[in-house]
Amino acid sequence: MVVMQSKEYSFPSLDFGKEVERAKWFKEDLDKGGWNERYKVPGFESWSKTFHEEQVPVKVLFLFSDMPMSAKKFAEIIHPSNMDLRTKWDEAFQDLETLEVAPDEGRVVFTRVALSCPLTDRDLVLFASPTNEVDWYGKKAFAMFVKNASHPSKPEGGDGLVRATNGGNFYIAIPDENQPDTKCQVFGLTNNNYNGWLPNSRMESVIAKKAPKVFHKLQMNVIEAYNEYFKKEEKQISNSQ
């Protein structure tokens, strides 16, 4: 993997404490009701809601239940610092590429999201924060936050795709109460304007049909990656102790 380094590059600003509070706000707003239940299968639930006053109005929350790994291990698997390995298992996001590495180990990444009719594929340039331990209602959880970004190596339209705008995603990996070393759940948010000819303020029905399935695929990919690459490593470490 070749990572570009630009001396003049400015990373998106991110206040980790404020991002945690924002994630908690979404959790509490979901608990209050008023969200539309969307794609749901065993182990995966999703909900959507439109906030018309926001630049990226359509929000989709999701929950991965009963993930067969610790919260810390999920955070390790999902973070783009493992990009070389992630390109082997991630089928939800295509053409993954690290563009810039921040001093705190955050990453600016490029990806393409494959979408079906009436949409065409979109590309995204994103900043993924380092994964930090956070207090999640009294539990030790692990959080990663994602912000919209740009990079000189990936100008908009340069690959012929429409550039989506991200409104700030997050993943909160929460340990299982009874089996914290082997199980967790993940509460997350995805929100993007798909741009192009689409009216962003009236896109909830279209986005809510497509985005949850992308993240359910990601969930399945993470489980497969854990079983294929990380579980064996954990067993080897355990046997050597």
Top-confidence residue, 31 or 232? 31
- The confidence score (pLDDT) of residue 195 equals 87
Using the predicted structure, report yes or no on whether residue 119 has a pLDDT greater than 90. Answer: no
Helical (H) or strand (E) element with 193: strand 192-193
Judge if pTM exceeds 0.85: yes
Q: How confident is residue 6, by pLDDT bands cut at 50, 70 and 90?
A: low
Digit-coded pLDDT (tens) for 79-100:
999 899 999 999 999 999 999 9
Q: Which of 110, 143, 108 is nearest to 12 (CA)?
A: 108
- The confidence score (pLDDT) of residue 159 equals 85
Q: Where are the domains of the chain?
A: 17-234
CA gap 16, 1 in Å, rounded: 28
Q: Which of 29, 45, 39 is nearest to 205 (CA)?
A: 39
Digit-coded pLDDT (tens) for 139-187:
999 999 999 999 999 999 888 899 999 999 999 999 999 999 999 999 9
Using the predicted structure, report yes or no on whether residue 4 has a pLDDT greater than 60. Answer: no
- The confidence score (pLDDT) of residue 10 equals 87
- Residue 38 phi/psi, 5-degree rounding, is -120, -140
- The confidence score (pLDDT) of residue 166 equals 96
Beta strands per DSSP E along 38-190: 44-50, 58-67, 94-101, 107-113, 122-128, 132-136, 139-148, 162-163, 165-166, 169-175, 184-190
Beta strands per DSSP E along 31-93: 36-37, 44-50, 58-67
- The confidence score (pLDDT) of residue 5 equals 57
Q: How confident is residue 241, by pLDDT bands cut at 50, 70 and 90?
A: very low
- The confidence score (pLDDT) of residue 230 equals 86
Digit-coded pLDDT (tens) for 180-202:
999 999 999 999 998 887 666 67
Q: Which CATH fold topology does 17-234 show?
A: Alpha-D-Glucose-1,6-Bisphosphate; Chain A, domain 4 (3.30.530)
b/e string for 102-132 if b means 16 or more Cβ within 10 A? Answer: beeebbbbbbbbbbeeebebbbbbbbbbbbe
What mean pLDDT value characterizes the chain? 90
